[in-house]
Structure 1
């Protein structure tokens, strides 16, 4: 059950729903099978069951740090659907608005232990015709979707079916009274039949208030090269987060009152380098970054601090084998985010760093955590 929200938001003057949770995340989640040892899928003898899904990962990560979160989706009436609902609810996420589909299965996938960026990484998806692929605007509760201070979506949903793409177009349309709309591009080449179809992600991103996109995604999906080119192609969002891999992330913030079509030229750019980590697995790091950035956004922290929280939460995911990591405690993350630039550059995080006992220690004493 979700903890009650303490946002203190007054009634909306336009009659739109008063937020009762911090974040609503909408999208598919699947049961994930993680290999018991490295190697090809053909050679791995057994797998451990977990959960995986960009939007549910964000919801779970936010809930684990005290935010109120609601996940909306469709799952089958099978055992895998039961497992997803139980596991996500156990993180503190409200799952009451997830629909059960008696005709379609819950999606599952298997992956190897290798980093997604390497040629040895394999993923086998079994999601075609899944319950989530049948989501439409007509069969989801619009009040529940608009019930958060932030609505977080992902481009993965748009690739699942024509109905899902239609749903995403409906949700990203600019209308009065909607929540702050966060959109993670999450371009997955294997989900798009034709590369040109991925241009739909650019259309959806233009309808969002806050956009997350990797510079590699923008290059592969849209032919854009470099953070500034991405900003020029996406002048509409108030905040554009361009993730630049190991280098760091640049955030373009539209100047208040600036016309959206001239926003790229008038926006301010803030760059924060990534952290040095002892990499265990890269899967889930992008979702963790988004959750960290959204957490700091909900708290009203400055843009530079939001980026640092994104990097810290990504570091939590990078130092564990699964898709879903427990983020650092708020006080711990705040201490590290407040380091000066020199100490931030020296920070080196390894497995177990989020559970380290840091009580009574100054942030500059934590610069190397193993």
Structure 2
């Protein structure tokens, strides 16, 4: 197993996204790709020059093997992944009727990934990493997945890893009351929390950005970094020592909004690994989100470090970044 900077875990599904904007019942061809919040972040980070380990349980079927090979082909270490013949790999279908009208259909109930178990985590492997990245999707898949996430958090705490939590609220997967309880539990252990505005409101009951950040800051002892995603308006950064709104990047034409938050998370984690000022990391994360929404697919728009620097400074005067 290779040494890694970041460890993440979660479900990736085979994604079928038509090239034409039509109701699904009229679509005859479905190009195949992959989609999953945690693997999106993993791929985003490898393109930015970092080493990432991704754990999941895949169906011992053609779709599971396709996901495994695809993520491995992006440079992510998948050596800890497991296959099972007890369940099938999950599927996603996207229906896009316009740039603003996007429907996503999941076929993931009782999927292979929902069978992940805490005992399957390898602490000696995970503890190599500096950062644990988790989302609120994985604990929603099953009780055993919830226990797996909590075990990963325990491992991270024991090994003094930084825990980055992106809520990624999916109310189709579980009841709102349970989701809120689990999100706030995970947030209390996390060092960096990356909610969207609606997720922050859901977790705290507050409506204003600053109040949400203050509430999340007070959920547990210790220093926390709160970064609230505000879409085209950028993001709000709050730490013990600073608070600021950081402007977003204009997008002329939104093609596919899915995956923008995952690109944002990759930008933040990359900045932490490079020990950059958080304001710079947030600015780059905003730029990555803008790039991702301009391209179809979950991972296709995730940029390399060179591409994001050109996007941020098209005149070619961007400073060198740490590599």
Provide the rounded CA distance (Å) in 1 between the counterparts of 2:311 and 2:159: 36
Shift of 1:306: 0.4
Matched with 1:14 is none
Q: Which residue in 2 is equivalent to 1:178?
A: 160
Deviates more, 1:320-329 or 1:99-108: 320-329
**Residue pair 1:107, 1:126 contacting (<8 A) in 2 also:** yes
Q: Do the aligned partners of 2:295 and 2:301 also contact (CA within 8 Å) in 1?
A: no
RMSD (CA atoms): 2.2
Match in the other structure for 1:223: 205
Answer yes or no: is 1:101 the counterpart of 2:101: no
Q: Distance in 1 between matches of 2:142 and 2:97?
A: 29
List alignment gaps of at least 5 residues for structure 1.
Answer: 5-19, 256-267, 340-357, 365-370
Alpha-carbon distance, 1:301 to partner: 0.8
**Distance between the aligned counterparts of 1:45 and 1:220, measured in 2?**
39
**Is the aligned partner of 1:88 residue 2:71?**
yes
Cα deviation for residue 140 of structure 1 reads 2.1
Which residue number corresponds to residue 112 of structure 1? 95
Tell me how many residue pairs correspond in the alignment: 312
Shift of 1:51: 0.3
Is 49-58 or 21-30 further displaced after alignment?
21-30
Distance 1:44 1:241, change over 3 A: same
Whether the aligned pair in 2 keeps the contact of 1:136 and 1:166 (CA below 8 Å) is yes
**Secondary structure at 1:47 match in 2:** coil
The whole-number CA distance in structure 2 between the counterparts of 1:213 and 1:22 is 23
Aligned to 1:238: 224
Q: Secondary structure at the match of 1:46?
A: coil
Conserved in 1, the CA contact under 8 Å of 2:204 and 2:212?
no
> Is 1:22–2:5 an aligned residue pair?
yes
Report the Cα distance in structure 1 between the residues aligned to 2:310 and 2:62, rounded to whole angstroms. Answer: 42
1:123-162 alignment runs, 5 A limit:
123-162=104-143
Aligned residue in 2 for 1:202? 184
Q: Report the CA distance shift for 1:115/1:188 in structure 2 as closer, same or farther (over 3 A).
A: farther
Deviations 1:61-116 (A, max 9, x none): 11122211111111011000100011001101111100111111111111112579
Deviation at 1:290, TM superposition (A): 0.5
1:290 aligns with 2:273: no
User: Which of 289, 298, 302 is matched with 1:314 structurally?
Assistant: 289
Which whole-Å CA distance do the structure 1 matches of 2:93 and 2:230 have between them? 27
Q: Aligned equivalents of 1:284 and 1:335: distance in 2?
A: 21
**Equivalent residue of 1:190, what SS?**
coil
Equivalent residue of 1:241, what SS? strand
Task: Say yes or no: does 1:61 pair with 2:35.
Answer: no
- CA distance 1:252–1:307, change in 2 (3 Å): same
1:39 aligned residue = 22
